[in-house]
Amino acid sequence: MPSPPCPDSAVGRPLNAHISTSPLSGESMSLRRPCIAATIAVCALAVAGCSDTQSAQPSDVNTAASFASGSSMDKLRASGRIRIGVKFDQPGMGYKKAGSHEPSGFDIEIAKIVAGGLGIQPNKIQWVQTTSQNREKFLESGKVDLVVASYTMNNARRAVVGQAGPYFVTGQQLLVRKDRGISGAKDVKGKKVCAAKGSTSVRAIKNSYQATPVQLATYGQCVAQLRGGSVDAVSTDGAILLGYAAQDPRELEVVGEPIDEAGYGVGYRKGDTGMCNFIDDTLQKAFRNGSWDNALMTTLWKTSGLLPRHPDVMESCTGSGTAS
């Protein structure tokens, strides 16, 4: 497999290639620069021989998984099935092509890693289409067991549901049409900028960009409005926007420096401390054994050139209480 490129364009710019902080606690997260030779060597070894379709394999499933009797993890292991809420409209993160049997993307691979830790085979995962607006609702109602859907961790959400991680850190940017002459935040002041309802991006559009927020159900709808000229830009995390830009590089591009940092977490039922600890442990194992690198290289790197380091700091599960 060829070594990853070291692009200097906005579309290839690696987000978080610096020392960052935890989105909740402010603790330091060390994030690697993708052009360091040692890093490239590690990543190349981790994904050597990968094909375009490589994904979580049955061998990645912990068939010897064992949990405390009666715990949510034990119940899921015993059932051999799990329902996971994911996005269907975010290329590179969670995307389901017309006619496909299942979605693909970095979030999908992370979901398979977590399910594998429960002893659940990839073909036993039920993928539930989820939007920014209904993630908490789906967890609270029991429609899904977990959510892995570019789910930014913050205290407001953790007051309603549990969030473990982060497993990825990104930052909010702008997706624009190349023919509009927009190069950054200063150019969208007073203009219409689209984001998904229920996302953390809406407030930043108004406060940081001083633009007029346009809220739609999904980012896919926002991108359609951008192409049609109804809005001037789309704003959310750069990792998501780069996937859209890669689909239409002649017309769309990502511009501006990230205005913040956001850690993506795995959503679970509030109060289930055992599940939180399990997810954190599973993610940390994935960081160490190369499966996180493999997930990144077979998804986000292919669509956007992103090659950030995994987060080094997990948010504490303390205070989550116990599930009833």
Q: What is the pLDDT of residues 96-112, one digit of tens each?
A: 999 999 999 999 999 99
pLDDT, tens digit, for every residue of 226-254?
999 999 999 999 999 999 999 999 999 99
50-89: burial string, b at 16+ Cβ within 10 Å, e else: eeeeebbeeebbeeebebeeebbbbebbeeeebbbbbbbb
Alpha-helical (H) ranges within the chain are 37-46, 72-79, 106-117, 135-141, 155-158, 201-207, 219-228, 238-247, 273-289, 291-297, 300-304
Domain range list for the chain:
19-170+263-304, 172-255
pLDDT at 158 over 50: yes
Superfamily classification of domain 172-255: Periplasmic binding protein-like II (3.40.190.10)
pLDDT digits (tens, 9 = 90+) for 160-200: 999 999 999 999 999 999 999 999 999 999 999 999 998 98
Fold of 19-170+263-304: D-Maltodextrin-Binding Protein; domain 2 (3.40.190)
Cβ atoms of residues 92 and 105 within 8 Å: yes
pTM, two decimals, is: 0.80
